[in-house]
């Protein structure tokens, strides 16, 4: 089952009609600017945050170093963004 169909089924079963699902692709900005800010953001918000939090200080340092290297490689000036993809869903009650 596709994600679109899945969403439509949930909404239909919940009593909504005229469902419209749009594919939205936009960059997700990582932090307020620069590599250091991007690393801090990634370590505190997002999929890596909860996982990193549970690690030993040594492992956290290694993850921080890995993220610093990664963001340094993708930085375009001060702006650091990564691809984002969402469904924009609308329907009527």
Partner 1 sequence: MTNIDPQIELWNGNSGERWVRYRDETDLAFGVLSASAMVRLNAQTGERVIDVGCGAGTTLLEIAKAVGPAGHVVGIDACDKLARCAQLRTAHIPQVQVLCGDATQVELPPSYDALFSRFGMMFFASPITAFRNLRNGLRPGGRLVFTVWQAANKNGWHADLMSVVLPHVSETPAPPLRLELRGHLQCLSACI
State which of positions 36-55 bind partner 1 (CB under 8 A): 37, 41-42, 44-55
Burial of 73 (0-12, 13-18, 19+ CB in 10 A): exposed
State the nearest-atom distance from the C-beta of 75 to partner 1, in Å: 13
Find where tokens 């419209």 sit.
20
CA-to-CA distance for 23 and 45, rounded, in angstroms? 24
Tokens of 88: 């924009």
The yes or no reply on residue 78 touching partner 1 (CB under 8 A) is no
Interacting residue ranges for partner 1, rule: CB under 8 A: 1, 3, 6-7, 10-11, 13-16, 22-24, 26-32, 37, 41-42, 44-55, 59, 62-63, 66-67, 70, 74, 82-93
């Amino acid at each position: 089952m596709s994600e679109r169909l899945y969403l439509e089924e949930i909404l239909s079963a919940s009593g909504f009609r005229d469902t419209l699902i749009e594919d939205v692709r936009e960059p997700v900005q990582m932090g307020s600017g620069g590599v250091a800010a991007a690393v801090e953001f990634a370590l505190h918000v997002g999929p890596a945050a909860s996982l990193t939090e549970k690690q030993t200080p040594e492992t956290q340092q290694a993850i921080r170093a890995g993220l610093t290297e990664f963001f340094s490689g993708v930085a375009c000036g001060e702006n650091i963004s990564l691809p984002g993809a969402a469904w924009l869903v609308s329907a009527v009650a």
